[in-house]
């Protein structure tokens, strides 16, 4: 005869097993996206390598590719995305108000933002850090030589506070010149109103590529902050949060297991259980997300894995020519790590 303690233990195990087996219920955001037939993605107005539109209105960039992968997973079509360009001040309000489904706009994950915006960060899509750019003619080789300098930056970002913290910690008299729009901040830098421009190092590289004479500008060696950039979704819809999170994880895991746009169909015959789970050829992992079994296959087919996305948009073969650095996979010397799809 079972005692009460044992009965409760067995009931708990049964409850856990039931929870694991249950498919996800479609959340309201997922229902809206499917009904609309389109994912609405908030992106940067123009940041080379991350989100920018060409003369024909075609969007590209690392943040844009994530939206394409998400649309492919949900709607089976990477082109079913409406891109809403947002500046730093607009981005959080657009998400909170429901104007966009997801914000994929080089946004730094911080405690304040995580706890006070009514939003959840999906994960880190790019590990960055704040730096400085100066004109070579000034012969400044280090950020610690900026004492007395005026530094241009944008308001509504983490960069303004980081700049103040760095100046105080290093006893530097730095005069911030703050602008609401990034275009105004960079314009002031190029016109000589300030000796330096500060933002994320990736943003500095992007700005240098579009400068009139890129070789006239130097990105200083100091990185003064941690800037883990990632997409955000509204709180209150756990189902859509889970989908958004696992699409990003699938892009990272795809690289780890050597899954590329070119070899995905060939890999469908793989005996590797990890690959089988990702591509949906064995266990159906999509049911747990409220999707079908080929959700990750479609995401990877649309954009390629994380490494392909990185190299195409910001890597050494792109105009930005950024090194992978911290954004290498965890088993290749970086810190990029995704929980397993299993």
* pLDDT for the residue 14: 44
> Is it the case that residue 315 has pLDDT exceeding 60?
yes
> Is it the case that residue 64 has pLDDT exceeding 90?
yes
CATH architecture of 129-226: 3-Layer(aba) Sandwich (3.40)
Residue, of 198 and 8, whose pLDDT is higher: 198
Contacts of 197 (CB under 8 A, 6+ apart): 132, 133, 134, 151, 152, 153, 185, 186, 189, 204, 207
pLDDT digits over 247-285, tens only? 999 999 999 999 999 999 999 999 999 999 999 999 999
Angle at CA of residue 71, ends 244 and 278, nearest 5°: 65
The domain segmentation of the chain, as residue ranges, is 28-125+230-323, 129-226
What is the fold, at CATH topology level, of the domain defined by 28-125+230-323?
Answer: D-Maltodextrin-Binding Protein; domain 2 (3.40.190)
Question: Would you place residue 27 in the very low, low, confident or very high pLDDT band (cuts 50, 70, 90)?
Answer: confident
Average pLDDT of the residues in 170-183: 94
28-125+230-323 and 129-226, same CATH topology: yes
Average pLDDT of the residues in 55-78: 98
> Is it the case that residue 19 has pLDDT exceeding 70?
no
Average pLDDT of the residues in 57-72: 98
pLDDT digits over 140-173, tens only? 999 999 999 999 999 888 899 999 999 999 999 9
Average pLDDT of the residues in 92-106: 97
Query: pTM for the complete prediction?
Result: 0.90
Mean pLDDT of the chain: 93
Q: Do residues 248 and 122 touch, judged by C-beta distance below 8 A?
A: yes
Percent of the chain with pLDDT over 70: 92
* pLDDT for the residue 170: 96
């Amino acid at each position: 005869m079972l005692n009460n303690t044992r009965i409760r233990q067995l009931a708990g195990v049964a409850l856990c097993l039931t929870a694991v087996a249950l498919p996800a219920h479609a959340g309201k955001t997922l229902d809206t996206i499917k009904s609309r037939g389109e994912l609405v993605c908030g992106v940067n107005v123009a940041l080379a390598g991350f989100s920018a539109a060409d003369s024909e209105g075609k969007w590209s960039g690392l943040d844009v590719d994530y939206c394409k992968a998400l649309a492919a997973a949900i709607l089976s079509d990477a082109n079913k995305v409406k891109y809403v360009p947002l500046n730093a001040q607009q981005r959080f309000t657009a998400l909170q108000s429901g104007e966009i489904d997801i914000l994929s706009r080089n946004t730094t994950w911080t405690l304040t933002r995580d706890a006070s915006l009514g939003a959840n960060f999906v994960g880190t899509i790019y590990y960055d850090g704040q730096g400085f750019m100066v004109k070579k003619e000034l012969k400044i080789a280090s950020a610690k030589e900026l004492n007395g300098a005026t530094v241009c930056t944008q308001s509504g970002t983490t960069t303004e506070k980081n700049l103040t913290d760095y100046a105080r910690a290093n006893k530097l008299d730095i005069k911030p010149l703050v602008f609401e729009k990034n275009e105004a901040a960079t314009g002031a830098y190029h016109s000589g109103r300030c000796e330096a421009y500060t933002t994320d190092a990736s943003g500095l590289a992007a700005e240098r590529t579009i400068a009139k004479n890129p070789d006239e500008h130097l990105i200083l060696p100091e990185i003064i902050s941690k800037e883990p950039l990632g997409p955000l979704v509204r709180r209150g819809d756990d189902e859509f949060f889970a989908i958004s999170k696992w699409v990003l994880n699938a892009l990272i895991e795809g690289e780890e297991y050597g899954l590329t746009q070119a070899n995905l169909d060939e890999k469908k015959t793989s005996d590797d259980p990890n690959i089988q789970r990702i591509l949906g050829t064995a266990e159906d992992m999509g049911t747990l997300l409220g999707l079908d079994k080929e959700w990750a296959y479609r995401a990877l087919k649309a954009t390629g894995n994380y490494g392909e996305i990185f190299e195409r948009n910001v890597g050494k073969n792109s105009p930005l020519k950024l090194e992978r650095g911290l954004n290498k996979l965890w088993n290749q010397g970086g810190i990029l790590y995704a929980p397993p799809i299993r």
